């Protein structure tokens, strides 16, 4: 890919030597432009805050799984085989949920990749439009992106039009803000009554709201059912653990009583033998 770009650039320069007028070439630095677009920086800061929150949530899930593993290892001697298997299954479920959550956030198709693409796309569109205008008005033949996959062994600063692109973006944004203010000002002049609701639109909204409510209700019911199942498993585990501890204590007490009985019998036998002598 890089070799092709180099050959392409060499071809452009060869053509410029043969043409009646030189081929006009410029370049932009997309990274520099993004760093100087306020909207991008604000949105990027918000996204980075989300990323930190996701990382904390993943670490909390990891810690919970690790703690459950430690607790199981510590209590395994007191548990039956069935209880051990149940605890291991719970750990596997939570571990799977943690990995799925991590993949949903940071995977190749995760939220981070999607939101970064959505964040950059509007700025890229603005840059593209600005480049088209600048190329048309200033008669550029080729404009490259320095931060993309283009090998620029040397680039003279005088061919960098990044500042022009930034100014064009700012002008376009200010024009849009001015139009929005003018439109708002004109609307405020009139005390227009809102149009009557469209029955079809209202009906669609109602159906959508009902569907959202049904989905929310279904999710909540599943969540409550899952909580009940977990509570039932926890209660059964606590009862079995209590029973095992009681049985263990009973066996210990029985063994102690048996030892005391044996000791008493030995003492009585010894006493009887001494009396016979």
pLDDT by 10s per residue, the chain, length 277: 444 454 455 455 545 544 445 678 888 888 888 888 888 888 889 899 999 999 999 999 999 999 989 988 888 887 788 888 888 888 888 898 889 999 999 988 888 988 888 888 888 888 888 888 888 888 888 788 877 665 554 556 777 778 888 888 888 777 767 766 666 655 455 444 455 666 776 777 777 788 777 877 877 787 788 778 777 877 877 787 788 888 888 888 888 888 888 888 888 877 777 777 6
Q: What residues does each domain of the chain span? A: 1-188, 201-269
Considering the entire predicted model, what is its pTM?
0.50
Which uninterrupted H or E stretch holds 25?
Answer: strand 25-28
Instruction: Retrieve residue 59's tokens.
Output: 């670490």
Instruction: Retrieve residue 130's tokens.
Output: 């600005």
Which uninterrupted H or E stretch holds 142?
Answer: strand 142-145
């Amino acid at each position: 890919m890089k070799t092709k770009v180099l050959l392409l650039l060499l071809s452009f320069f060869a053509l410029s030597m043969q043409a009646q007028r030189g081929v006009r070439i410029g370049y932009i630095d997309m990274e520099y432009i993004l760093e100087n677009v306020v909207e991008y920086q604000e949105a990027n800061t918000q996204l980075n805050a989300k990323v930190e929150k996701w990382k904390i949530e993943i670490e909390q899930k990891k810690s919970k799984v690790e703690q459950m593993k430690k607790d199981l290892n510590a209590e395994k001697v007191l548990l039956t085989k069935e209880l051990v298997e149940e605890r291991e299954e719970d750990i596997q479920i939570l571990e799977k949920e943690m990995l799925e959550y991590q993949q949903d956030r940071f995977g190749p198709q995760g939220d981070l990749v999607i939101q970064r693409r959505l964040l950059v796309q509007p700025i890229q569109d603005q840059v593209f439009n600005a480049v088209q205008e600048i190329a048309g008005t200033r008669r550029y033949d080729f404009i490259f992106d320095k931060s993309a996959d283009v090998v620029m062994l040397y680039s003279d600063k005088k061919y960098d039009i990044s500042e022009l692109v930034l100014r064009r973006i700012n002008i376009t944004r200010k024009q849009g803000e001015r139009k929005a203010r003018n439109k708002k000002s004109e609307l405020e002049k009139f005390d227009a009554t809102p149009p009557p609701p469209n029955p079809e639109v209202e009906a669609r909204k109602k159906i959508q709201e009902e569907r959202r409510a049904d989905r929310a209700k279904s999710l909540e019911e599943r969540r409550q059912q899952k909580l009940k199942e977990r509570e039932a498993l926890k209660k059964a585990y606590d009862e079995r653990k209590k029973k095992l501890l009681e049985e263990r204590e009973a066996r210990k007490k029985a063994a102690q009583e048996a030892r005391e009985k044996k000791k008493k019998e030995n003492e009585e036998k010894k006493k009887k033998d001494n009396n016979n002598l």
